[in-house]
Amino acid sequence: MSTDLVGTFLRLMKQFINDDSTHVILEIHNVLGQRVATLINKSLKAGKHSLMWDAEDFATGIYFSKLKTGDKVYSRRIVLLK
């Protein structure tokens, strides 16, 4: 997971490999565990995928990304600095 700061526009670029054609959900949660954004919620073909989160309207702080693909769940911490 990488972040880019371009002016005042912060983007989170997430790349992942989907091993099988399956339903994929990628959500952003705050430190209270509340979902604050759903970046993707649909079926995807197997292969490499990428997407971007425009975090401009979100406050500085710690967030967590949660990626669900089939029966697998991956979680990463995100530190958003403005």
Instruction: Give the range of the structural domain holding residue 21, as residue numbers without chain letter.
Output: 2-80
pLDDT per residue as tens digits for the range 45-74: 888 877 878 888 899 888 888 988 888 888
**CATH number for position 44:** 2.60.40.1930
Residue holding tokens 């994929």?
Answer: 24
Give the count of domains, the chain: 1
Reply yes or no on whether the pLDDT at 22 is more than 50: yes
Contact 36, 58 (CB under 8 A): yes
**Average pLDDT of the residues of the chain:** 78
Between these two residues, 22 and 5, which has the higher pLDDT value?
22
R_g of the chain computed on alpha carbons = 13
